[in-house]
Every structure is written in C-alpha cells, then in structure tokens.
C-alpha cells in the first residue's frame, strides 16, 4: 500500500512524503530507520472526510483510561529524550490518539504550552483527568529540569497501578460470576419449580414444616410481585450507592473493606503497595514529604488510609516522624511498613525503603491473587452446598413424609 505520511526529526523539522509499506506499523519502522518520528499517515486515495456515526459520538464521550494516561507519559518521555520540543511532542502524540475526548484534551494542552504556559499549569486545568499525582510530579520535573526522568517515573508508577488493580479485579471475577449464577438459578427455581411442588403438596394435603412454608411464601411473592421485587431491589441498591458516596458511607465502607474475611488482607496489601510506591515516586521527584503525603492521600481510594495520611501531614509539620505517626494505625499499616519507614528516616533513604516496600507488597498481592481461587472455591462450594441442602430438605422431605402416610 502507498501511504502519504508526515514525520518529524529531532530538530522539530516536519517532513511530508509518500512511501510503500504493508501497514502503518511497518511504515513507522521504516521512517524510524531514517531518524524520523511518524506523526500522521493515511493510505493514498482513501478519503479523510469525517463521518458522523454512532461510534464516533460514543468515542467522543468515552473516558480517558489509566492505560492511555500511561502511554501519554511514556511516549512524551521518549520524544523529549529524543530532543523534540515539548509542543512538538504533544502535537505528535495528539495525532496518534484514537480517543476523541483525550485528543481534544491534548490539543488544548498543546495550545496552552505554545502560548507560553508551563506544562504543569496546562495539565492542572484538567486535573480531573490526570490527577494530582501526575500534575505535581510534572511540576517538580519542570522545576528540576528532569521532566524526561519524571515522566518515565510516572509511566512506571501507572503501569504498576494498572497491574495491581487488574490482578485484584481478575481475582474477584470468579466469585462474582458464581454468586450471580447462584442468585439467577435461585430466582428461576422460586418462580418456576417451587410452584409445581406447591401444587403437589396441596393435592396430597401434606402438613408442611416452617422452612417449606417460608420457601413457598417467598416463591408466591416473587411470582405475583416480581416487578415490585425488582423495583425494591433497584431502590435499595440506589440508596446503598448514595450512602457509600457520603462521608459517613465512605468511612463505613473503608472500615468494612479491610475487615472482610479473605479479601480484607488483600485490600490492606494493595493499599500498602500503592502507598509505598506513590510516596516513593513523589519523594524521588523532589517533592517535600508533607506535600507528597497530601497528594498520596488524594490518590488512595480507601477513606481510612486517606484520613491517616492527612493526619500524618499535620503531625509531620509539628516535627514528628512518619514511622511514629503510622504506628498509631496498626489495623492499616503492618509492623513491616513502620519498621522500614523508621530505618529510611534514620538513614536518609526513605524513598529507597518505600520502593522496597512497594516491591514486596506488589509481590504479595500477586501471590495472594494467584492463590485466591484455591481459597474461595471451597468456601463457595460450602455455601452452595448449604443452600442446595436447605432447599432439598425443605421441599423434598414433605413429599416423602406424605408418601409414607399413604
């Protein structure tokens, strides 16, 4: 295929030309061999007219993902390291982005930088997209003249975050599917199977135990008022969701999450890993410890961890050590965390100790998620067995009792 392409060299000079290639990826490799960076390519003869489709509209409103922000930091670091001016690097990345929303954001940031504003100031206008961690680390990188290093650090940080979250989500998928299937099968049994058995009981005039009456009553209610039941379930779910969004609800959920059997330990390890890596990255970027703690508190999701770090920020300003402060939260921070922090503060290697902590707990999260299915599976089997046994005894025993009286 013949492509018309635009590329840029290290000096920022733009070139437009035509070249044969099997795909855009192959074209990019060929252009790279000439010392150029491909920023735009289109197959010759293909119309570039905009088509307003449902897909285009959906793409404009799709969220900016963690992976896209990670690629943004990584690609910018590469282009800046290659000697491209920041505005040229932003323009080049804008041409590569498929997400329409993100493309518009990058275009606005690029325009702001061209107008003379700093990169961090331009990013701060979209802190809702990039987050406090990204904006503050970029600001530190610009001030120290280490923007390339800071962007690489950010990309590595986001990659670790993505891997950790993906592992935890993957571990939760199996029990979520099993429980959803269990609820669905239970509902179908109540609506279609139990009424048939109920009719049999009435024909045989069998005296029913309390558990059987309870199941039959539930079945009759769901059969007659299933729309009402769905409405109640929807309203209850909405109210719980609204409650969790409140300050009291977030605190309640944060406390409950770390006390959950099986999952509580995993959540603690996940938060310890993220706390250590984020704080290490911020300190390595030259951001003061109090500011680093403030940013970390805004990034962590669990409210209990947020509150502990906000308190730590205030106490450090009074002259206390971080390790001594976090010892007051033994339910959140294991002894290993406070001990490593104490050594780091005494030796002046806090960032390095935090990085070691992050690596340790990331490994722990990985091992826990791998072994989680072997722990959850027997528990689920016991729960399913108990439910099936309860149903079988409640619904089948009266039949045998009735037949025995004949």
Residue 239 to residues 92, 152, 231, 245, 321, Cα–Cα distance (Å): 46, 42, 12, 10, 41
pLDDT more than 90, % of the chain = 15
Helix axes 247-259, 303-317, angle to 10 degrees: 100
**The predicted structure's pLDDT at residue 403:** 62
Q: Are 123 and 133 in a shared domain?
A: yes
Could you please report the per-residue DSSP string of 222-244? HHHSHHHHHHHHHHHHHHHHHHH
Print the domain residue range for 94.
63-156
How much is the average pLDDT of 163-170? 82
Number of domains the chain contains = 3
Tokens standing for residue 170 = 């993957």
How far apart are alpha carbons 14 and 275 in whole angstroms?
43
Instruction: Give alpha helix (H) positions in 193-334.
Output: 194-204, 210-224, 226-245, 247-259, 263-284, 289-299, 303-317, 322-326
For residue 313, name the pLDDT band (cuts at 50, 70, 90): very high
Q: Would the pLDDT of 235 be above 90?
A: yes
How much is the average pLDDT of 135-145? 85
Q: Are 282 and 361 in a shared domain?
A: yes
Neighbouring CB atoms inside 10 A of 123's CB total 22
How much is the average pLDDT of 76-85? 88
Q: Would the pLDDT of 228 be above 90?
A: no
**Closest alpha carbon to 104 in 90, 117, 86, 119:** 90
Helix axes 147-188, 66-81, angle to 10 degrees: 160
How much is the average pLDDT of 185-201? 84
Q: Are 142 and 201 in a shared domain?
A: no
CA angle 13, 19, 21 (to 5 degrees): 125
Tokens standing for residue 65 = 């993902």
Rounded to a whole number, what is the distance in angstroms from the first to the last CA of the chain?
Answer: 85
CA angle 104, 5, 49 (to 5 degrees): 55
CA angle 193, 197, 201 (to 5 degrees): 165
Q: Would the pLDDT of 24 be above 80?
A: no
0.85 exceeded by pTM: no
How far apart are alpha carbons 340 and 352 in whole angstroms?
10
How much is the average pLDDT of 10-39? 74
Q: Would the pLDDT of 15 be above 80?
A: no
Q: Are 115 and 248 in a shared domain?
A: no
**The predicted structure's pLDDT at residue 316:** 92
Q: What is the DSSP letter of 52?
A: -
Q: Are 74 and 86 in a shared domain?
A: yes
**Closest alpha carbon to 327 in 318, 319, 335:** 335
How far apart are alpha carbons 163 and 362 in whole angstroms?
9
Q: Are 138 and 254 in a shared domain?
A: no
For residue 51, name the pLDDT band (cuts at 50, 70, 90): very low
Q: Are 12 and 151 in a shared domain?
A: no
How far apart are alpha carbons 100 and 51 in whole angstroms?
13
How far apart are alpha carbons 8 and 14 in whole angstroms?
4
Residue 57 falls inside a structural domain? no
Q: What is the DSSP letter of 246?
A: S
CA atoms within 13 A on the CB side of 173: 8
Helix axes 147-188, 350-404, angle to 10 degrees: 10
How much is the average pLDDT of 271-279? 90
Q: Would the pLDDT of 328 be above 60?
A: yes
Q: Are 9 and 79 in contact (CB under 8 A)?
A: no
| Non-local CB neighbours of 117 within 8 Å, separated by 6+ positions | none
For residue 396, name the pLDDT band (cuts at 50, 70, 90): confident
Q: Would the pLDDT of 341 be above 80?
A: yes
Which run of H or E residues covers position 17?
strand 14-20
Q: Are 141 and 165 in a shared domain?
A: no
Q: Are 324 and 275 in a shared domain?
A: yes
User: pLDDT of 87-136, one tens digit each?
Assistant: 888 988 888 888 888 888 999 999 999 988 899 999 988 888 888 888 88
Residue 53 falls inside a structural domain? no
Beta strands at 14-20 and 2-8: parallel, antiparallel or unpaired? antiparallel
Residue 49 falls inside a structural domain? no
Q: Which residue among 156, 181, 196 closes a domain?
A: 156
**The predicted structure's pLDDT at residue 390:** 87
Q: Are 130 and 69 in contact (CB under 8 A)?
A: yes
Instruction: Give alpha helix (H) positions in 1-126.
Output: 24-33, 54-61, 66-81, 86-96, 100-114, 119-124
Three-state DSSP class for 264? helix
Q: What is the DSSP letter of 23?
A: S
Residue 52 falls inside a structural domain? no
Q: Are 290 and 141 in a shared domain?
A: no
Residue 54 falls inside a structural domain? no
Residue 325 falls inside a structural domain? yes
**Closest alpha carbon to 323 in 300, 283, 353:** 353
Highest mean pLDDT among 23-32, 286-295, 366-375: 286-295
Q: Are 265 and 118 in a shared domain?
A: no
Q: What is the mean pLDDT of the chain?
A: 83
Residue 245 falls inside a structural domain? yes
Q: Are 229 and 308 in a shared domain?
A: yes
Q: What CATH number is given to the structural domain containing 67?
A: 1.20.81.30
Q: Are 73 and 96 in contact (CB under 8 A)?
A: no
Q: Would the pLDDT of 52 be above 50?
A: no
Residue 171 falls inside a structural domain? yes
């Amino acid at each position: 295929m013949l492509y018309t392409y635009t590329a840029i060299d290290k000096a920022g000079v733009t070139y437009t030309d035509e070249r044969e290639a099997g795909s855009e990826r192959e074209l990019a490799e060929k252009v790279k061999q000439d010392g150029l960076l491909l920023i735009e390519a289109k197959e010759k003869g293909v119309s570039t007219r905009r088509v307003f489709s449902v897909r285009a509209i959906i793409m404009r409103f799709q969220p900016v993902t963690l992976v896209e922000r990670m690629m943004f930091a990584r690609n910018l670091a590469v282009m800046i390291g290659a000697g491209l001016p920041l505005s040229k690097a932003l323009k080049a990345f804008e041409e590569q982005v498929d997400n329409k929303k993100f493309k518009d954001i990058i275009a606005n940031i690029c325009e702001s930088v061209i107008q003379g504003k700093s990169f961090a100031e331009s990013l701060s206008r979209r802190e809702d997209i990039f987050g406090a961690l990204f904006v503050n680390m970029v600001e530190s990188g610009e001030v120290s003249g280490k923007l390339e290093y800071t962007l690489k650090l950010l990309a590595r940080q986001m990659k670790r975050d993505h891997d950790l979250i993906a592992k935890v989500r993957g571990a939760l998928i199996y029990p979520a599917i099993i429980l959803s299937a269990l609820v669905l099968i239970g509902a179908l049994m109540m609506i279609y199977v139990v009424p048939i058995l109920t009719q049999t009981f009435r024909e045989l005039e069998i005296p029913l135990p309390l558990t059987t009456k309870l199941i039959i009553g539930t079945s009759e209610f769901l059969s007659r008022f299933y729309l009402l039941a769905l409405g109640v379930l929807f309203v209850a779910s909405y109210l719980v969701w609204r409650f969790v969004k409140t300050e009291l609800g977030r605190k309640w959920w944060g406390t409950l999450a770390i006390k959950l059997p099986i999952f509580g330990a995993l959540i603690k390890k996940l938060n310890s890993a993220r706390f250590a890596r984020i704080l290490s990255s911020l300190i390595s970027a030259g951001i003061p410890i109090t500011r680093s703690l403030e940013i970390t508190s805004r990034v962590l999701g669990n409210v209990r961890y947020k509150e502990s770090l906000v308190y730590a920020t205030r106490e450090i300003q009074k002259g206390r050590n971080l390790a001594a402060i976090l010892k007051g939260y033994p339910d959140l921070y294991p002894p290993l965390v406070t001990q490593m922090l104490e050594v780091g503060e005494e030796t002046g290697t806090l960032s390095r100790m935090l990085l070691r902590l992050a690596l340790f707990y990331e490994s722990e999260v990985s091992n826990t998620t791998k072994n989680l299915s072997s722990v959850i599976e027997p528990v689920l089997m016991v729960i399913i067995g108990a439910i099936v046994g309860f149903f079988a005894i409640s619904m089948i025993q009266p039949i045998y009792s009735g037949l025995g009286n004949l």
